[in-house]
Amino acid sequence: MANELDGKQIAFLTANEGVEQVELTEPWKAVEEAGGTPVLVSIEKGQVQGFNHLTEADTFDATLAAGDANVADYDGLVLPGGVANPDQLRADDASVAFASAFFEAGKPVAAICHAPWTLVEAGVVSGRTLTSWPSLRTDISNAGGSWVDQEVCVCTDGPNHLITSRNPDDIPAFNEKLVAEFSRNG
């Protein structure tokens, strides 16, 4: 993966409370190992609380609030999961607008586990095939998307590519595909 993302900035959008830590840290590491620069964006600038499922884990520093972030500064977007994280993001207008703007700009987006809830709220799943944590199946279908149960799904419908995975067990495949797809754009 070395240098495939050389010079590319990748936004990681999270809520300040409740991100599934491994779904943040492992893709972050993959972006860095591929030569990219990950940037943590959150609802509010400041501390982001990671969780290992339901147990508090580490904290991370978000350098920007979603309302202050400019999609033009980034080559791709990663949406980590956890139940609380995307539930909070989908209730925040600035975060939803930030995620939606990547689709409008034709830039790749990668979402894992419960993260597609933010995409449902953004109105960008219609006509797309994606995967997620199984409990989102109905939400994705009701939003006009097609849900599949597979380790990683790359949807190339539309001007941008959408990479999705179901859960932390899928992270190796998720990371491989997000680096490959992000390296193709820009």
Return the active site residues: 113-114
Report the C-alpha gap between 120 and 45 in whole angstroms: 24
Q: Which helix (H) or strand (E) holds 41?
A: strand 37-42
Please report the sign of the dihedral spanned by the C-alpha atoms of residue 158, residue 136, residue 110, residue 153: negative
Q: At what angle do helices 21-33 and 171-184 cross, to 10 degrees?
A: 40
Tokens standing for residue 126: 């219609």
